[in-house]
Amino acid sequence: MIPSVHYQDLGLVEYAPTWEYQTSCHQQLVQRKRSAAGDPIRDQPAPHKFIVCEHPHVYTLGKSGHPDHLLLDDDALAGVGATYVKINRGGDITYHGPGQIVGYPILDLEDFYRDVHRYVRELEEVMIRVIRSYGLIGIRLEGYTGVWLAPDDHHPLFRKICAIGVHLSRWVTLHGFAFNVNTDLKYFDHIVPCGIHDENKAVTSLSNELGRDLDMEEVKALVREQFAEVFQCSLTMTNPA
C-alpha cells in the first residue's frame, strides 16, 4: 500500500504562522510514533502532509548559518520590506518571497525509507523533472544541495534555481525546498545565498531562464505530479486546518 499524503496550498502567507503550522503537523506525526504498539492511533494512516505556499519577503537563517551572511541592518531590512527569522533547518541563509514556490513535506520517512540523503536527492529529483518540462536541464553539484543549471553559451555561471534545507526528528521531516519561479532575484543581492561565496555561482529563476513569467498554478500542478511519482505516494488535496 503506497503512502497517502495530504496536499495543502496555503497561498501567500507570513513565514511565522506557517512555521508554527509546520511544527504542529510535525509534532502530530512524532506523537503518533511515540504511541505504544497496538494503540488504535498506530493502526490509522499517518497524517503525512505536503504544504506549499508563497511568503512575503523574508530571509531565513539555518542553524549552521552565519548571521553576517545577511548584508542588511534592521533599517535596511525595513527599507526593502523584508523580515529576518532564525530557524532550525539545515543550511545557511536564504530568501523567500512572492513568485517562489516553497514546499514543506511533513513526512514520516519510516513509511517511505530510512535514508536522509535519499530524501534530499528525491526532493532535488522532483525539481529536476519539473524544470525539464520547460526544456531546462537541472543538475546536482557535488558538495552542494539543491538544483542547479550548468554554464552555457548564454550564462557563464552555475545558477541555483531551487534551494533545499531540511530538519528531521524521529525520522519525521520538517522544512523543505524553495523553488524560484517568478521570483524577484534582486532580493538575493542582500545576502550571501546559502553561504556560498563562489563567484562562479549565482541564483536564477524559471522566469529568468525562459524570459517570461510562468503561471504559478501550472507549475504547482507539475510539482504535485512529480512529487507523487518520485515519492511513490498518492496526493489528496485538502484544505488547511
For 123, the grid coordinates are 526532493
Give the integer Cα–Cα distance in Å for 181 and 222: 12
Radius of gyration, CA atoms only, the chain: 18
**Catalytic residue annotation:** 194
Which of 27, 53, 71 minimizes the C-alpha distance to 191?
71
Question: From the CB of residue 38, how many other CB atoms can be counted at a distance below 10 Å?
Answer: 7
Cβ-based neighbour number of residue 45 at 10 Å: 11
Mind giving me the DSSP string for 15-56?
HHHHHHHHHHHHHHHHHHHHSPTT-GGGGSPP-EEEEEEE-S
Helix residue spans in 52-178 (DSSP H): 74-79, 116-132
Grid coordinates in use for 30? 512524532
- Could you tell me the sign of the dihedral formed by the alpha carbons of 124, 92, 144, 139, in that order? positive
